[in-house]
C-alpha cells in the first residue's frame, strides 16, 4: 500500500509546478488578488497551492500528515506570519496575506482538497463561522441521505441536462376581463412649458405682497361658463357588496315640563353646643386635622411665595414693537462721517457718544505717522491743529464743535457727573481739559430729532435740517498738565473715578462729599499709572515776582477759566510703576479696568448731576471745590483697590493702587502685582492688549483682546481664561461688550471685518462676520438710545466714522439669557479646577515613577558579581529556548535532532 500514495502525490506536485510556471509575474509592489469561491456559494473558502517545501514546514504533507480520515489541519496564525517575514512573496500563503492578517482567531483551518473541488490541492477557511460549520455540519434528513447514496452510485456521466422548452400561450378569455376593469385616460393631457432667461438662473428670489389693482394684469377673474364640447359620460361599473346585519336607528325625546315660578327660603345649619363638644372630642376629627394640617400649611406658604396672578403666557411672549425683521442679524449702515475740510491723512483714535444728547458723537483724530516720521515732520505738524470733532446726525459734512489740543489726542472721556467737562490724553504724555459749557445750548438745540421723542427718532434723514450756522466752532483747551511731571510717552487710556469716592496720595479710599467726579486715572507706555486731582489745593504757596507778572496778563475771552489753576502746573496725585518682580524691568500698560468702571451713562441722572454742580458753586463749581487732602474725610472700609492692567507684551495683570512704605528706606513704593493672569506661565495674547473691559452684566467677568485671539476671565480665578479663542485670520484691533445682551461682544479686525460673538450660539468661533470697511478698524463703541433703537460706532484707519444700526436679534436678549450665560461661566470655572487637579495628579504620578526608576538603578548597582553572572546566564538560557522553539516551528530541524543540537550549543 506504500507506493499508492506516492502515485497520488506526484500528479499533485506536477500540477503545482505547471501552475507555478503559468503563473503571471506581478510587478514589485503589487499583490495578487486571492481567489474566492463566492460564485460557488462559499465566500469563506480561498483555494491555495502548497508546494512540498511548504508542506514540510507546516507538517501538512499529503498522505502522511493529512489523510482521507483527517484531511485538515489547524495552523497557527503566528507561524504563517513568521513565514511571511522569512520568505516574503515566495511564501505560498502570500496570495491570501491580507485575509490571514485580518483573521480574528489564532488558528486557521487548512483543508486538503483531494478531488480538486475548488480547483487547487488545498484551501483555507477564512471565517470562524465557516470553521465551526466544517467541524459541526448540519444534520441531513434520512431521505436526503438515501438520495445522496443513490446519487453516488449513479455515475455522473449518465446525467444529461435538458433546458425547459417554451410552450405557446393559450388564451382562455382572462385578458378581456382585465381590459374591461382597467382605467383608461379619456381626456388629452395638457402640457405646459415654463422658461426663464439664462442670466436669471440662480438669482435670489424675494416674495412680497402688493395690491393687485395697482399692477397691470395683476388681477384676472375666472368665471364659470358651460362648455358644450366637454361632456362627462357616466360609465357603468360592476361593484361588489358585502351583506351586513340590519341596522336600526332609534331616538328618544325627553318630556318638556312647563316652567313654574317657585320661592324657597334657606338658612345655614348650625351645630348645637352639645354637638360641638362631641365633635371636638371625637377622634376621627382630630386625626383628620393632624393629617391635613401639614399640606394646608404648605399650600398657604406657596400662595405667599408664588404670585398666582402672574400671566405665564405673557412672560413667555416676546416684544412685538421692533424695527425691522427678527431674522435679520446683520448690522445696517445708518450714517457715516468724514472730515472733508481737513485734507491731511488722519485716523480716528478714540470715539465717545455724548451721554445725554441724541445723535451727537465725538471722535479724536491723529496723523497716520510713525515715531520716526513724526520726528522728521515735526515742524509741519506744529502748524496743523490737533482736534476732537463733534459730529451730529443732522449734518454729516460739518462738525458741530472742534476742540483744539496742543498734540494729537489718543484717548478722551466725558465726565460722568458733568458731560460738559472733557479730559483727554496726548501723544506727548500731557492731559488736556476742556469746558464746553458755553456751547452747551448750541449743541443741545441741534435739529437732529434729538428731542428724545419717538416721532423725532423715526424722522427721515432728508427732512433733518442742518444747523444754519456753518461757521466752524474751534474751542481751545482750559488747562494742560505739566510736561515735566506727567507721563513721558503717549497716554493709552484714561478713566474718571466715580463720584462716590476719592483717593489720597497713599491710595487709601475716602468718601466724596462733593458728589462730583474730580479725579482721573491714566496709563502710558512709559510703564506708569498716574492718578490726577482736578481740584485746587487749599493752601496756596506764595508765587515768585516773575510769575505774578505773568498772572497779570489778560486771558483771552474765548478760553474758559474753569481749570486755570491747573494750567501747566498740574501734577499727578500719585504715580505707580508696575515692576516685574525680581527683575529690574517694568510692565508697559496699554489699557486699565477699574473695579467700579462705568460703561453706561444714564440719561435720567442728568438733572441730578447738574444739581450737584450747582450746589457746589454757582459760577465755577470746580474752583470752589476743596481738595480732599486738606479735609478730614471718612475712610471707606472693605473697598477693593485692585484693578486690571493690559500690557504691550500681551499680559493681563491684577494689581493694587495702594502704596506701601519700604521698611529700609521709608519711601513710598508701588506694590508688586498681586497676580499675573496667564496660561502655563505665559501670556495668553500674542500681541499688545488693546481692550480690557468688564462685562456690564457681571462685575467679575472681564473681556481682553490682543494680538490674534480673545479671552474671557473671571476675577480671582488665576488658573486660566474661561474662554480663549483660536488665532483669527487677521489681527484684532478693537472690541466692546454688547450693552443689552450679556453673551454678545463685537471685535474689529485689521482687514475691516467685525466679528460678532454670541455665546448662546457658538463658543469656539464668531457667530458671524461682516465687512464694514477696507482698512483697519481702530475703535468700536455701541450706544443704546431706546429699547427699540441701538447704534454702534465703528471708526477706521482712514478717518471715517461708520454709524450702524444693531438688528433686533443682537439687541434684545432672550428669556433668562443673563442666568444662562452665568451658568456657562460657572461651568467653565469648574472645568478649569478639574483640569488643575488632574494636572497635579499627573505631576505626582510622574514624580513617583521617577523615584521608582531611581530605586531600581540603585538596586542594580548594589548587586554582587555572582548575582550579575547568574542573571546573565539565565537570560542566555531563555534566549536558547526561544531560538529552539522558533527553529522547530519553522521546520528547520526535527525532534530527533534536538538533543545533538543542544549538546552542540
| Residues 523/591, Cβ–Cβ less than 8 Å | yes
Longest dimension (CA), the chain: 145
pLDDT at 125: 83
Strand partners, 597: none
pLDDT category at 507 given cuts 50, 70, 90 is: confident
**pLDDT, mean of residues 76-93:** 82
Q: What is the mean pLDDT of residues 469-489?
A: 80
pLDDT confidence of residue 825: 92
Q: Closest Cα partner for 413 from 398, 432, 394, 430?
A: 432
Q: Is 355 helix (H, G, I), strand (E, B) or coil?
A: coil
Look up the pTM and report it: 0.57
- Whole-number Å distance between alpha carbons of 880 and 294: 86
**pLDDT confidence of 845, banded at 50, 70, 90?**
very high
CA geometry: angle 462, 465, 468, nearest 5 deg: 145
Model confidence pLDDT, tens digit, residues 197-212? 888 887 888 888 777 7
Query: How much is the pLDDT for 538?
Result: 59
pLDDT at 888: 83
Stretch 740-765: mean pLDDT: 92
* Highest mean pLDDT: which range of 102-116, 542-556, 596-610: 102-116
Cα separations (Å) of 451 from 298, 398, 437, 448?
Answer: 53, 21, 19, 8
Q: Could you tell me the pLDDT band of residue 621, with boundaries at 50, 70 and 90? A: low
Report the percentage of the chain scoring pLDDT > 70: 76
- Using pLDDT thresholds of 50, 70 and 90, give the confidence band for residue 862: low
- Bridge partners of 493, per DSSP, are 523
Task: Report whether pLDDT(499) > 60.
Answer: yes
The shares of helix, strand and coil residues in the chain, as percent rounded to the nearest 5, are 30, 20, 50
- DSSP class of residue 127 equals S
Q: Given this model, what pLDDT does residue 89 score?
A: 77
Phi–psi pair at 404, nearest 5 degrees: -85, 150
- Cβ-Cβ contacts under 8 Å for 588 (sequence gap 6 or more): 525, 526, 527, 647, 648, 649
Nearest to 791 by CA among 425, 440, 450: 450
The span from the first CA to the last CA of the chain, in angstroms, equals: 41
Q: Is pLDDT above 50 for 16? A: no
| Mean pLDDT for the stretch of residues 382-403 | 85
More confident residue, 64 or 479: 479
Residue owning grid cell 527683575:
583
| Exposure letters 257-288 (e unless 16+ CB within 10 A, then b) | eeeeeeeeeeeeeeeeeeeeeeeeeeeeeeee
Q: Which residues are within 8 A (CB) of 685 and not within 5 positions of it... i.e. 6 or more apart?
A: 650, 651, 652, 704, 705, 706, 707, 709, 711
* Residue 645 neighbours by CB under 8 Å, 6+ apart: 523, 529, 578, 587, 589, 591, 592, 593, 652, 653, 654, 655, 692
DSSP string, 473-499: -EE--SEEB-TTTS-SS-EEEEEEPPT
**pLDDT band per the 50, 70, 90 thresholds, residue 353:** very high
Q: Give, in order, the Cα–Cα distances in Å from 51 to each of 17, 25, 46, 83, 121.
A: 8, 18, 16, 14, 10
Task: Please tell me the predicted confidence (pLDDT) of residue 433.
Answer: 92
Average pLDDT of the residues in 744-749: 94
CA distances from 501 to 86, 424, 595, 811 (A): 88, 21, 13, 33
Confidence of residue 157 (pLDDT cuts 50, 70, 90): low
Task: Say which residues have a Cβ less than 8 Å from residue 697's Cβ, sequence separation at least 6.
Answer: 742, 818, 821
Strand order in the sheet with 701-706: 689-694, 701-706, 709-714, 723-724
| Sequence-ordered list of residues with C-beta below 8 angstroms from that of 545, at least 6 positions apart, any chain | none
The answer on pLDDT for 671 being more than 60 is yes
453 pLDDT more than 60: no
pLDDT at 678: 66
Model confidence over 277-330: pLDDT tens digits?
888 888 888 899 999 999 999 998 888 887 777 777 766 655 444 444 456 778
Please determine, for residue 472, whether its predicted confidence score (pLDDT) is greater than 70: no
CA 444/CA 451 separation, integer angstroms:
9
pLDDT at 448: 45
Whether 591 has a pLDDT exceeding 70, the answer reads yes
Give pLDDT, residue 834: 92
Residue 876 CA to residue 870 CA, distance in Å, equals 10
- For residue 13, the model assigns a pLDDT of 37
Task: Give the list of residues 6+ apart from residue 871 with CB closer than 8 angstroms, or none.
Answer: 863
- Grid look-up 445696517 returns 332
> Residue 905 has what pLDDT?
45
Torsion of CA 880, 881, 882, 884, to 10 degrees: 80
The stretch 378-402 carries a mean pLDDT of 82
- Average pLDDT over the chain reads 77
Which carries the bigger pLDDT value, residue 311 or residue 817? 817
Rounded CA separation 94/30 (Å): 12
Determine the Cα–Cα distance for residues 761 and 680; give it in Å rounded to an integer.
Answer: 29
CA angle, 13 as apex, 9 and 19 as ends, to 5°? 145
What average pLDDT does range 838-864 have in this prediction? 83
168-177, 324-333, 653-662, 819-828 — most confident range: 819-828
* 622-664: pLDDT as tens digits: 655 555 444 567 777 778 888 889 988 888 888 888 877 776 7
- The rounded radius of gyration (Å) of the Cα atoms in the chain is 48
Burial class of residue 393 (count of CB atoms within 10 Å of its CB; 0-12, 13-18, 19+): buried
Lowest mean pLDDT among 440-454, 690-704, 843-857: 440-454
pLDDT given for residue 741 in this prediction = 92
Nearest residue to 579 via CA among 506, 674, 658: 674
In this predicted structure, the answer to whether residue 593 has a pLDDT above a threshold of 50 is yes
Ranges of beta strands (E only) in 19-137 are 45-48, 72-76, 107-112, 122-125
**175 has a pLDDT exceeding 50:** yes
Yes or no: say if 768 and 743 are a contact pair by the CB < 8 Å rule. no
What is the tens place of the pLDDT at every residue in 792-807?
A: 999 999 889 999 999 9
The pLDDT assigned to 556 comes to: 65
Range of weakest confidence among 527-541, 657-671, 837-851: 657-671
User: What pLDDT, on the 0 to 100 scale, is given for residue 267?
Assistant: 79
Cell of 429: 504724555
Distance CA 794, CA 336 (A): 9
Q: Which helix H or strand E contains 575, and what residues bound it?
A: strand 574-577
The reported pLDDT for the residue numbered 692 is 92
Residue whose C-alpha is closest to residue 427's, from 443, 412, 417? 412
Q: Which of 384, 386, 381 is nearest to 371 (CA)?
A: 381
* Sequence-ordered list of residues with C-beta below 8 angstroms from that of 279, at least 6 positions apart, any chain: 271, 285
Q: Please give the average per-residue pLDDT across 403-415, as a whole number.
A: 91
The helix (run of H) or strand (run of E) holding residue 315 is helix 312-316
Amino acid at each position: 500500500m506504500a507506493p499508492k500514495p506516492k502515485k497520488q502525490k506526484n500528479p499533485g506536485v506536477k500540477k503545482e509546478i505547471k501552475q507555478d510556471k503559468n503563473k503571471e509575474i506581478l510587478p514589485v509592489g503589487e499583490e495578487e488578488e486571492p481567489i474566492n469561491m463566492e460564485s460557488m456559494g462559499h465566500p469563506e473558502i480561498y483555494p491555495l497551492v502548497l508546494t512540498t517545501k511548504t508542506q514540510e514546514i507546516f507538517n501538512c504533507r499529503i498522505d502522511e500528515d493529512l489523510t482521507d480520515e483527517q484531511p485538515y489541519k489547524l495552523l497557527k496564525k503566528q507561524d504563517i506570519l513568521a513565514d511571511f517575514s522569512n520568505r516574503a512573496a515566495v511564501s505560498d500563503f502570500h496570495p491570501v496575506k491580507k485575509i490571514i492578517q485580518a483573521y480574528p482567531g489564532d488558528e486557521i483551518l487548512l483543508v486538503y482538497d483531494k478531488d480538486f473541488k475548488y480547483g487547487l490541492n488545498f484551501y483555507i477557511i477564512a471565517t470562524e463561522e465557516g470553521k465551526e460549520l466544517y467541524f459541526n455540519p448540519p444534520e441531513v434528513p434520512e431521505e436526503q441521505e438515501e438520495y445522496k447514496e443513490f446519487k453516488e452510485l449513479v455515475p455522473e456521466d449518465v446525467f444529461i441536462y435538458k433546458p425547459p422548452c417554451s410552450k405557446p400561450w393559450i388564451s382562455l378569455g382572462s385578458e378581456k376581463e382585465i381590459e374591461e376593469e382597467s382605467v383608461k385616460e379619456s381626456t388629452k393631457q395638457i402640457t405646459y412649458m415654463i422658461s426663464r432667461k439664462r442670466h436669471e438662473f440662480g438669482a435670489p428670489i424675494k416674495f412680497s405682497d402688493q395690491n393687485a389693482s395697482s399692477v397691470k394684469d395683476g388681477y384676472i377673474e375666472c368665471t364659470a361658463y358651460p362648455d358644450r364640447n366637454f361632456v362627462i359620460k357616466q360609465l357603468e361599473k360592476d361593484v361588489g357588496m358585502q351583506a351586513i346585519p340590519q341596522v336600526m336607528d332609534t331616538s328618544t325625546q325627553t318630556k318638556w315640563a312647563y316652567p313654574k315660578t317657585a320661592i324657597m327660603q334657606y338658612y345655614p345649619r348650625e351645630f348645637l353646643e352639645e354637638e360641638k363638644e362631641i365633635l371636638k372630642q371625637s377622634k376621627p376629627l382630630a386625626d383628620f386635622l393632624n393629617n391635613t394640617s401639614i399640606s394646608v400649611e404648605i399650600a398657604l406658604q406657596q400662595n405667599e411665595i408664588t404670585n398666582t396672578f402672574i400671566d405665564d403666557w405673557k412672560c413667555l411672549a416676546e416684544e412685538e414693537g421692533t424695527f425691522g425683521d427678527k431674522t435679520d442679524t446683520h448690522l445696517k449702515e445708518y450714517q457715516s462721517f468724514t472730515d472733508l475740510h481737513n485734507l491731511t491723512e488722519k485716523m480716528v483714535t478714540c470715539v465717545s457718544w455724548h451721554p445725554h444728547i441724541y445723535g451727537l458723537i465725538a471722535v479724536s483724530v491723529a496723523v497716520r505717522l510713525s515715531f520716526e516720521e513724526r520726528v522728521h515732520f515735526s515742524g509741519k505738524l506744529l502748524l496743523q491743529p490737533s482736534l476732537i470733532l463733534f459730529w451730529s446726525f443732522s449734518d454729516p459734512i460739518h462738525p458741530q464743535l472742534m476742540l483744539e489740543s496742543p498734540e494729537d489726542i489718543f484717548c478722551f472721556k466725558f465726565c460722568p457727573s458733568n458731560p460738559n467737562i472733557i479730559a483727554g490724553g496726548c501723544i506727548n504724555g500731557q492731559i488736556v481739559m476742556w469746558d464746553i459749557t458755553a456751547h452747551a445750548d448750541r449743541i443741545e438745540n441741534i435739529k437732529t430729532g434729538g428731542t428724545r421723542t419717538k416721532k423725532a427718532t423715526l424722522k427721515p434723514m432728508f427732512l433733518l435740517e442742518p444747523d444754519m450756522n456753518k461757521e466752524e466752532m474751534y474751542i481751545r483747551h482750559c488747562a494742560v498738565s505739566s510736561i515735566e511731571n506727567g507721563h513721558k510717552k503717549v497716554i493709552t487710556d484714561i478713566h474718571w473715578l466715580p463720584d462716590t469716592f476719592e483717593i489720597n496720595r497713599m491710595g487709601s479710599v475716602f468718601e466724596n462729599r462733593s458728589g462730583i467726579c474730580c479725579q482721573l486715572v491714566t496709563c502710558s507706555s512709559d510703564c506708569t499709572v498716574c492718578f490726577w486731582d482736578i481740584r485746587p489745593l487749599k493752601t496756596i504757596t506764595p508765587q515768585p515776582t516773575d510769575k505774578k507778572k505773568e498772572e497779570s496778563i489778560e486771558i483771552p475771552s474765548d478760553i474758559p477759566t474753569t481749570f486755570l489753576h491747573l494750567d501747566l502746573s498740574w501734577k499727578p496725585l500719585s504715580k505707580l510703576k508696575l515692576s516685574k518682580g525680581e527683575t529690574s524691568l517694568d510692565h508697559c500698560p496699554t489699557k486699565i479696568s477699574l473695579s467700579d468702571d462705568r460703561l453706561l451713562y444714564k440719561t435720567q441722572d442728568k438733572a441730578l448731576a447738574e444739581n450737584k454742580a450747582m450746589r457746589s458753586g454757582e459760577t465755577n463749581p470746580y474752583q470752589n471745590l476743596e481738595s480732599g487732602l486738606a479735609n478730614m474725610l471718612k475712610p471707606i472700609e472693605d473697598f477693593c483697590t485692585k484693578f486690571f492692567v493690559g500690557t504691550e507684551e500681551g499680559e493681563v495683570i491684577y494689581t493694587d493702587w495702594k502704596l506701601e512704605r519700604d521698611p529700609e528706606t521709608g519711601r513710598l513704593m508701588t506694590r508688586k502685582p498681586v497676580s499675573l493672569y496667564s496660561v502655563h506661565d505665559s501670556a495668553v495674547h500674542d500681541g499688545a492688549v488693546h481692550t480690557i473691559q468688564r462685562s456690564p452684566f457681571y462685575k467679575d467677568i472681564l473681556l481682553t483682546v490682543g494680538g490674534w485671539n480673545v479671552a474671557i476671565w473671571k476675577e480671582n480665578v488665576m488658573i486660566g481664561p474661561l474662554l480663549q479663542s483660536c488665532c483669527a485670520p487677521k489681527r484684532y484691533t478693537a472690541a466692546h461688550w454688547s450693552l443689552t445682551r450679556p453673551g454678545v461682544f463685537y471685535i474689529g479686525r485689521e482687514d475691516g471685518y467685525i466679528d460678532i460673538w454670541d455665546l448662546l450660539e457658538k463658543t469656539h468661533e464668531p457667530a458671524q462676520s461682516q465687512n464694514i470697511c477696507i482698512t483697519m478698524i481702530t475703535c468700536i463703541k455701541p450706544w443704546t438710545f431706546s429699547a427699540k433703537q441701538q447704534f454702534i460706532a465703528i471708526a477706521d484707519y482712514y478717518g471715517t466714522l461708520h454709524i450702524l444700526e444693531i438688528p433686533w436679534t443682537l439687541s434684545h436678549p432672550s428669556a433668562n439669557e443673563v442666568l444662562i450665560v452665568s451658568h456657562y461661566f460657572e461651568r467653565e470655572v469648574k472645568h478649569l479646577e478639574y483640569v488643575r487637579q488632574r494636572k497635579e495628579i499627573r505631576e505626582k504620578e510622574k514624580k513617583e515613577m521617577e523615584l521608582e526608576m531611581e530605586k531600581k538603578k540603585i538596586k542594580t548597582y548594589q548587586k554582587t558579581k555572582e548575582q550579575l553572572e547568574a542573571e546573565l546566564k539565565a537570560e542566555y538560557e531563555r534566549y536558547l529556548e526561544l531560538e529552539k522553539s522558533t527553529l522547530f516551528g519553522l521546520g528547520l530541524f526535527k525532534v530527533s535532532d534536538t538533543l545533538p543540537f543542544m549538546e552542540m550549543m
